[in-house]
Structure 1
Amino acid sequence: MAEATIDNTAVADGDEGGVRRRDFIEIAAVSFGGVGALATLYPLISQMAPSKDVLAESSTEVDISAIQPGQAVKAVFRKQPLFVRRLTEKEIAEANAVDVSTLRDPATLTEMTKEGHEDMLITMGVCTHLGCVPLGAGEGEVKGEFGGYFCPCHGSHYDTAARIRKGPAPLNLQVPEYEYTSETTVKVG
């Protein structure tokens, strides 16, 4: 009687040495599921991006050429007031003469302005106490005891360098991110 040998390389389950039909169906199903997941997630993720009107307000350009020494102007940055003030030589000297260690929120005028532009002070026009808009940037407005800004809501007084000197405000007026795009233009934001 002859012995029969079993060849282990025989074709099993329709495997013809290539991709089985089951493998093809699995790859197609996973690919289809991936495309479906992307089609579902894209609108959800894209709706979280900022809208065009928000992006348009993300920066503001201010022309500073017409601002005279001692004058301040108001602008709008991200729907909040922005104060741009050109300091006089006297205001710069007074701000630099203050002992910074005596301030509630210690900051020098140099820290509040950009190098080479110590005469231009750019701050947000929002009191750091409860968010009121201080006076002092408009013509004829009360500037407080220190000649800078005065918040009429609760009586905070800021000096000409926008540093808190008296009242309940805990911090100086905020200096936003800004850069000089030319000698006469400042881009805030």
Structure 2
Amino acid sequence: MAIVEHVESEGAAVSGGGGGDGVRRRDFINIAAVSFAGVGAVAVVIPLVDQMNPSADVLALASTEVDLSAIQPGQAIKTTFRSQPLFVRHLTDKEIAEADKVDPASLRDPQTLEERTVDGKKQWLVTMGVCTHLGCVPLGAGEGENKGEYGGYFCPCHGSSYDTAARIRKGPAPKNLEVPKFSFTSDTAILVG
């Protein structure tokens, strides 16, 4: 019997039940395994997230500078912004007056000309050249193009007509032509985007 008791006490010491070292070893192994898995997850996730960032060519198109010096009152130009057409129009006093006399409450998408332009630069209207109905490019920015019955833009696809402030007045388009974020960098240049 003495031999059995001696063997049992040695077995308890070897298995770690007596000194508490076994619990500490187990905890260390668990912490090391979780840490290793965490480092591995981070090593996998970082490249996946990084590949979702825009490429350099896309970032280069994120803003567009437009020179306004050659645009005479009553003229408009077409350029591109983020691979879409952009219209920049130099409104005449008559076009501004026509836009101002329209009651915004009577419009499908009520906005005043002031809400669509920059303070103190009411004569410069900058809009995306994409019809809000199905994405066609409206006419009216080029020389001699059909400006529609309201003197702004006319979409040849389904007949939407926009006024001089590029607000929808007739046709299936639900919204006005979108005004992108832009700012004046000088009296003759704007930065879109």
d(CA) in 1 for partners of 2:35 and 2:172?
62
Alignment correspondent of 1:69: 73
d(CA) in 2 for partners of 1:83 and 1:114?
15
How many angstroms does 1:25 deviate by?
3.5
Q: Which stretch has the larger CA shift, 41-50 or 88-97?
A: 41-50
How many angstroms does 1:112 deviate by?
0.9
Q: Deviations over 1:44-66 (max 9, x none)?
A: 11112222222222111111121
d(CA) in 2 for partners of 1:168 and 1:25?
67
Where 1:67 maps in the other structure, the secondary structure is coil
Structure 2 counterparts to residues 122-133 of structure 1, below 5 A = 122-133=126-137
How many angstroms does 1:21 deviate by?
4.4
Alignment correspondent of 2:11: none
Alignment correspondent of 1:30: 34
Alignment correspondent of 2:146: 142
How many angstroms does 1:42 deviate by?
1.2
Alignment correspondent of 2:123: 119
Alignment correspondent of 1:13: 19
Q: Which amino acid aligns with 2:90?
A: R
Alignment correspondent of 1:51: 55
Alignment correspondent of 1:91: 95
2:113 matches 1:105? no
How many residues end up aligned between the 2 structures?
Answer: 176
Cα RMSD of the aligned pairs, angstroms, is 1.8
How many angstroms does 1:30 deviate by?
2.8
Where 2:165 maps in the other structure, the secondary structure is coil
2:158 matches 1:158? no
Q: TM-score, normalised by structure 1?
A: 0.86
d(CA) in 2 for partners of 1:22 and 1:104?
70
Where 1:148 maps in the other structure, the secondary structure is strand
d(CA) in 1 for partners of 2:176 and 2:142?
19
Q: Deviations over 1:140-163 (max 9, x none)?
A: 111111111111111111111101
Q: TM-score, normalised by structure 2?
A: 0.84
d(CA) in 2 for partners of 1:112 and 1:22?
67
- Structure 1: runs of 5+ lacking an equivalent: 1-10
Where 2:41 maps in the other structure, the secondary structure is helix
How many percent of aligned residue pairs carry the same amino acid?
A: 72
How many angstroms does 1:29 deviate by?
2.8
How many angstroms does 1:22 deviate by?
4.2
d(CA) in 1 for partners of 2:57 and 2:19?
62
Q: Deviations over 1:11-68 (max 9, x none)?
A: 94365xxx95444444433332221111111111111222222222211111112111
Q: Which amino acid aligns with 2:67?
A: D
Where 1:107 maps in the other structure, the secondary structure is coil
